[in-house]
Amino acid sequence: MKAIEIRRKYLDYFKKHGHSVIPSAPLIPENDPSVLFTTAGMQPLVPYLLGEKHPEGKRLTDYQKCVRTNDIDEVGDNRHLTYFEMLGNWSLGDYFKDESIAMSFEFLTKELGIPVEKLSVTCFAGDEDCPRDEVAANAWKKAGIPEDHIYYYGKDDNWWIAGEEGPCGPDTEMFYDTGKPACGPDCQPSCDCGKYVEIWNNVFMEYFKDENGYRKLEQKNVDTGLGLERMTMLLQGKETPFDTELFSPVMDKLKELQKIDNIESRRIIAEHLRSSMMIIADGGRPSNLDRGYVLRRLIRRMIRHMNKLQIDLDSLKELIDIYVRDLGEMYPELVKNRETIEQVIIEEKDKFVKTLSNGEREFQKAIGKLEGTNVIPGEIVFRLYDTYGFPPEVTKELAFENGYEIDMDSFNELFKKHQEKSRAGSEQKFKGGLAETTEETIKYHTATHLLNAAIKKVIGKDAHQRGSNITVDRMRFDFNCDHKLTPEEKQEIEDLVNKWIKEGLPVIKEEMKKEDAIKSGAECMFIEKYPDIVTVYTIGDVSKELCGGPHVKNTSELGRFKIKKEESSSSGVRRIKAVLIDE
Ligand code: SER
């Protein structure tokens, strides 16, 4: 079965079971500046897992594009990927363990035709925070999983949370037995030997964790995630995702183009190219900071491996074409953004090629000077990064090829200091979507707070901000709302904002403890992402929001507010575009 068919079957199956199919959120989270990329299907759904009403109902399903970069330097082995697709289904306070497990079992065995004996499952073993998950285990037994294929593990294996804080809970994981011989008498799903491969994870999200520990959520949710590349590989009986149709045409082409044979390099090239293309299609661009830096590393590492295999860098275009041709049906955004993708990748390649050979020379010089050690100090790794644009993975690989190691810890320290400095300059982009700070953008920023307050008055207090974006000549504001605004609603919102501007309300900035801010009723999009001491901006008695600023001193500075457009942004989310006109 091809990947696209597995995706189709999945969405159809859950649709048949009452789930609304929702679109994949972009890889670059529009409304969450605190994370670099979307890393799981649940990420865009957090507000709904916490109790907000989703306009599409309580049962949702989708495919979600994800990028995870913590293992970037593992790519090249037979399983790690930076980009992958996660199929998911959710219950937002609707069904729970029994039904979720029954559906997973039916989908795996009936729709995908996996023999029951190939499946093993794991459940949460229980601890002081949460009891042993007998309910899940019984549901598996009832479905048809034999008792000796059910395992219990602790929080390390069977508990899911994104990061340190947030919605979480025990999970049950499904494993596929590849048929490889057991590595020993203790070989179990938790074992890394490759016999068992995890295929699906159902999280029973009924807790929320913060610095005070665990508390129960108001609603019991189910969040599941099934990795498409892995499932495709297993169903096709392939050893690695690179042997499936998702990668194999590019892998074959690389084999044809290479002058030196190295399978790891081919995988790195194929994987990093696909990831880069997906990130660029969703608006990512290479830079030295955060998201942009991830993309830069992916492209540069790919280029170096192309050089290593002595593949002509001009063949990048051909490789991009293969992906657009083969993945275009799954990801129409690749077809739509084909030209931009090519342009961005070629430009970045050209930039890197300029410094690459000088950097390699510098590297050779530096190791020539090392005495009595095979560890390359962090300062050299940093200099190669700073002066020649060498991502540390590249230096690490170069070092390895020459019999050296790098001092990654001291590099990381230098890098962190450097990033903090650069980030201070671009901090604003992480605050309410402000990309640059000028007199105009500051005005728009204050207008955003007024608009947020006006929407709440007109549409209802459950209409929350979902994102915003400001340039010097307009603002954009996203909020949840289940209908297109009527002309009257639009007018009323516009009038309210203008009334508050005319009233000349003072804008007051205060610092306070996060808890006090919440108690005082201050608005905020991602409460868990803020530090303990926060800045709160209050505008008259109209608006109070956690915000980094900056803002004008008085609303009378804003001019006249005009809504230019109101449209759908994504399902259940409306977008207002507005301008301020000098009076
Ligand atoms: N959030 C869980 C995961 O990422 C299940 O979707 O595995």
The per-residue pLDDT for 424 is 59
With a 6 A CB cut-off, is 225 part of the ligand 1 pocket? yes
User: Residue 435's pLDDT is what?
Assistant: 41
% the chain with pLDDT above 90: 74
Ligand 1 and 235: CB distance under 6 A: no
Nearest-angstrom CA–CA distance, 375 and 139 = 53
CA of 67 to the centre of ligand 1 (A): 13
Residue of 203, 205, 228 with the most ligand 1 atoms within 8 Å of its CB, for mutation: 203
Closest CA to 340 of 263, 405, 281: 281
The sheet carrying 560-570 orders its strands as 465-471, 474-480, 573-581, 560-570
> Looking at domain 438-581, what is its CATH homologous superfamily?
Threonyl-trna Synthetase; Chain A, domain 2 (3.30.980.10)
Q: Cα(482) to centroid of ligand 1, in Å?
A: 27
Which residue would you say has higher pLDDT here, 543 or 69?
543
**Which residue's alpha carbon is at the smallest distance from atom 4 of ligand 1?**
40
Is any atom of ligand 1 closer than 6 Å to the C-beta of 88? Answer: yes
pLDDT of residue 433 exceeding 70, the answer is no
- The residue whose CA is least distant from atom 6 of ligand 1 is 225
CATH topology of domain 3-237: BirA Bifunctional Protein; domain 2 (3.30.930)
Sheet strands (E) in 296-435: 375-376, 405-406
| Higher-scoring residue by pLDDT: 128, 514 | 128
User: Is the beta carbon of 170 within 6 A of some atom in ligand 1?
Assistant: no
Task: Record the tokens describing residue 387, joined without a space.
Answer: 């002066």
The domain spans of the chain are 3-237, 247-352, 362-435, 438-581
pLDDT at 103: 98
Q: What is the mean pLDDT of the chain?
A: 91
Asked if residue 240 lies in contact with residue 229, where contact means CB atoms within 8 angstroms, the answer is no
* Range 422-428, long-range pairs (CB < 8 A, 24+ positions): 422/288, 422/289, 423/289, 423/290, 426/289, 427/548, 428/548
Q: pLDDT, tens digit, for every residue of 42-54?
A: 999 998 999 889 9
Measure the CA–CA gap between 418 and 379, rounded to whole angstroms. 12
Is residue 223 within 6 Å of ligand 1 at its C-beta? yes
Q: Extract the tokens encoding 568.
A: 């759908």
Structure confidence at residue 33 as a pLDDT band (50, 70, 90): low
Taking residues 264-292, what's their average pLDDT?
94
pLDDT digits (tens, 9 = 90+) for 210-255: 988 999 998 999 999 999 999 999 999 999 999 999 999 999 999 9
Q: Report the pLDDT value the prediction gives residue 431, as an integer from 0 to 100.
A: 38
Nearest to 161 by CA among 222, 217, 211, 203: 203
- Report how far ligand 1's centroid is from the alpha carbon of 19 (Å): 18
Is-same-fold flag (3-237; 438-581)?
A: no
Residue 313: pLDDT over 70: yes
Band of pLDDT at residue 466, cut at 50, 70 and 90: confident
Determine the average pLDDT of the residues in 105-122.
98
Q: Is the minimum distance from the CB of 40 to ligand 1 under 6 angstroms?
A: yes
DSSP string, 130-165: S---HHHHHHHHHHT--GGGEEEE-HHHHEEESSSS
Q: Is residue 227 packed enough to be buried (19+ CB in 10 Å), middle (13-18) or exposed (0-12)?
A: buried
Query: Does residue 206's CB lie within 6 angstroms of at least one atom of ligand 1?
Result: no
Is the pLDDT at 430 greater than 70? The verdict is no
The pLDDT, as a whole number, for residue 474 is 87
Closest atom, ligand 1, to C-alpha of 40:
4
- Count of C-beta atoms within a 10 Å radius of residue 486: 10
Going from the Cα of 223 to the center of ligand 1, the distance in angstroms, rounded, reads 7
Q: What is the pLDDT of residue 422?
A: 66
Task: State pLDDT tens for residues 357-413.
Answer: 889 999 999 999 998 889 999 999 999 998 898 988 889 989 998 999 999 999 999
Confidence class for position 73, pLDDT limits 50, 70, 90: confident
Q: Which two tokens stand for residue 347?
A: 């430009």
Q: How far apart are CA 136 and CA 151, in angstroms?
A: 11
Residue 110, pLDDT score = 98
Per-residue pLDDT, averaged over 479-486, amounts to 92
Which atom of ligand 1 lies nearest, measured to the CA of 88?
6
Lowest mean pLDDT among 5-9, 31-35, 74-78, 492-496: 31-35
Question: Is residue 168 lining ligand 1, measured as CB closer than 6 Å?
Answer: no
